[in-house]
A and B are shown apart, each in its own frame.
Chain A
Amino acid sequence: MPEMSGGHVKLESLTKRFDDVAAVDDISVEIKSGEFFSLLGASGCGKTTTLRMVAGFEPPTSGKILLDGTDVGNWAPHRRNVNTVFQSYALFPFLTVAENVAFGLKYKSVPKSQRDSRVAEALEMVQLSGYETRRPNQLSGGQQQRVALARALVLRPSVLLLDEPLGALDAKLRRTLQVELGALQKQVGITFLYVTHDQEEALTMSDRLAVMNRGRIVQLGTPEEVYNEPADAFVADFLGVSNLMDAQVEPGGNVKECCHLRLGDFTLEARAGQLDATGAVKVAIRPERIHLHPYQSAGVNRLPGMVERLVFLGSTTHIYVRLATGAALQALMRNEGAGSPYSQGTPVSVDLPADAIRVLPDPGVSVAEIRDETLGDQLLDVTSSVPASS
Chain B
Amino acid sequence: MASVAGESVTTSPPEPAQVTMRGRVRGNPWRRPWGMEGFTWLYIIWSIVPIAIAVLFSFNKGASQATWQGFSTKWYVGKGVTSVLHNPSLHHAVIQTIVLAGLTTLICVPIGVGFAIGIDRWRSRTSNGLNFLMIFSFVIPELLLAVALFLLVTQGLTFIRLGTPAEVAGLVVWNLSWPAIIVRARLVSIGHHYEEAAADLGASRLGAIRRVLIPMLLPAIFASAVLVFASTVDDFVIVEQVSSTSNTQPMSVLIYSNVHGGLSGPALNALATIMLVVSLIAALIGFVGYRWLSRGERTKGDVEALTAVAGI
Contact = CB atoms under 8 A, between A and B. Distances in A.
B204 A135 contact: no
B197 A137 contact: no
Contact of A78 (B128, B204, B212, B296): B204
A90 B204 contact: no
Contact of A86 (B128, B193, B203, B296): B193
Contact of A93 (B201, B205, B296): B296
A191 B173 CA distance: 53
Given A94-B216, A104-B201, A137 B296 contact: yes
A57 B201 contact: no
A334 interface: no
Interface string B110-123: 00000000001001
B199 A90 contact: no
A78 B192 contact: no
B247 to A, nearest CB: 44
Given A90-B194, A90-B197, A108 B123 contact: no
A273 to B, nearest CB: 42
Contacts of A76: 199, 204-205
A90 B193 contact: yes
Contacts, number: 79
Interface in B182-202: 188, 191-194, 196-202
B192 A387 contact: yes
B78 interface: no
Nearest to B297: A93
Interface residues of B, number: 27
Interface string B214-247: 0110100000000000000000000000000000
A135 B295 CA distance: 10
B298 interface: yes
Given A57-B196, A90-B196, A151 B296 contact: no
B201 A135 contact: no
A105 to B, nearest CB: 9
| Candidate in B200, B202, B216, B218 with the most chain A CB atoms within 10 angstroms | B200
A103 interface: yes
Contacts of A390: 123, 128
A60 interface: no
A274 B138 CA distance: 70
A77 B296 contact: no
B242 to A, nearest CB: 36
B190 to A, nearest CB: 9
B296 A135 contact: yes
Contacts of B297: 93, 137
Contact of A83 (B128, B188, B191, B201): B201
A86 B198 CA distance: 12
A155 interface: yes
Contact of B202 (A90, A92, A107, A136): A107
A86 to B, nearest CB: 6
B203 to A, nearest CB: 6
A83 B296 CA distance: 25
Contacts of A151: 201
Contacts of A55: 196, 200
B123 A78 contact: no
A56 B200 CA distance: 8
Given A92-B194, A93-B297, A388-B191, A84 B204 contact: no
A88 interface: yes
A289 interface: no
Contacts of A388: 120, 188, 191-192
Contacts of B188: 388
Given A76-B199, A137-B297, A155-B201, A387 B216 contact: no
A83 B201 CA distance: 7
B193 to A, nearest CB: 4
B202 A78 contact: yes
Contacts of B201: 78, 83, 103-104, 107, 151-152, 155
B200 A84 contact: yes
B202 A106 contact: yes
Interface in A61-101: 76-78, 82-84, 86, 88, 90-94
Contacts of A86: 193, 196-197
B123 A84 contact: no
Nearest to A390: B123
Nearest to B198: A103
6 contacts: A77-B196, A84-B196, A94-B296, A103-B203, A137-B297, A137-B298
Given A88-B193, A92-B198, A94-B296, 14 more contacts: A77-B199, A82-B200, A94-B216, A94-B218, A103-B198, A103-B211, A107-B202, A107-B203, A137-B297, A155-B202, A387-B192, A388-B188, A388-B191, A390-B128
Interface of A: 55-57, 76-78, 82-84, 86, 88, 90-94, 103-104, 106-108, 135-137, 151-152, 155, 387-388, 390
